[in-house]
Amino acid sequence: MNRKVEIQDLGLRDYKETWDYQEELFGSILDIKMKNRREGAGLETPNYLLFVEHPHVYTLGKSGDVHNMLLDEKQLEAKGATFYKINRGGDITYHGPGQIVGYPILDLDNFFTDIHKYLRFLEEVIIRTLAEYGLKATRSEGETGVWLDVGTPFARKICAMGVRASRWVTMHGFALNVNADLGYFDHIIPCGIRGKAVTSLHVELGKQEVSETEVREKIQKHFFDLFEAESVASVKTVTEN
């Protein structure tokens, strides 16, 4: 089993371009697994953790309701945002500047073959990260993601999650609001859940801005601890062509 995970920092990158890149890595792992199965090649499958920040974009999961998107095409254009129907689980969400988006592209055969456990681990990574800022984040029963003040009238979501998996290979992942403009969430019914608010780390801490580099480093630390993974020697930064 290969428990090495290559970190790639994609910087600010268009959503569709990043989605295509995810598919490329995802497909290459599946190809290796198929070759191993058919030919007994015994080849090692790689693992990746992509970090990225997207320009304003709304994405709708395959089980989502398009009516949870409250803007039409012209209104989206006026907001400088794009919209995509995509192949992850979950409903609608927003990505944009001030948000740390993580896409683990893992062969779970290298770790454990349990999607439920995988989602709980991703949530736990964020819960532990937020604890370092003095926030008690938790899960909300039946609602994937990470929340604050669950079970109170002030429940609010700080991290959305949605994944796709095939033959135990994962893609898509999590989006943690760090310095996010929460006004963009007013134009959707986030994750299809009515009556619950969305928040951001900088709002919770009462700060103008939180260091996204610092938050990302904490996420990495907890990710590698929980998955008992080993980081590839150097962090690889992928720049746009």
Would you please indicate which residues are annotated as catalytic (active-site) residues? 191
Nearest to 190 by CA among 64, 13, 83, 19: 64
Q: What residues are designated binding site for substrate? A: 88-95, 160-162, 173-175
Q: What residues are designated binding site? A: 88-95, 160-162, 173-175
What residue type is 54 in one-letter code?
Answer: H
Alpha carbons 100 and 175: distance in angstroms, whole number: 6
- In the 8-state DSSP scheme, what is residue 178? S
Alpha carbons 59 and 101: distance in angstroms, whole number: 13
| Secondary element (H or E) of residue 208 | none
Alpha carbon separation from 213 to 33, 99, 178, 210 (Å, rounded): 34, 11, 11, 9
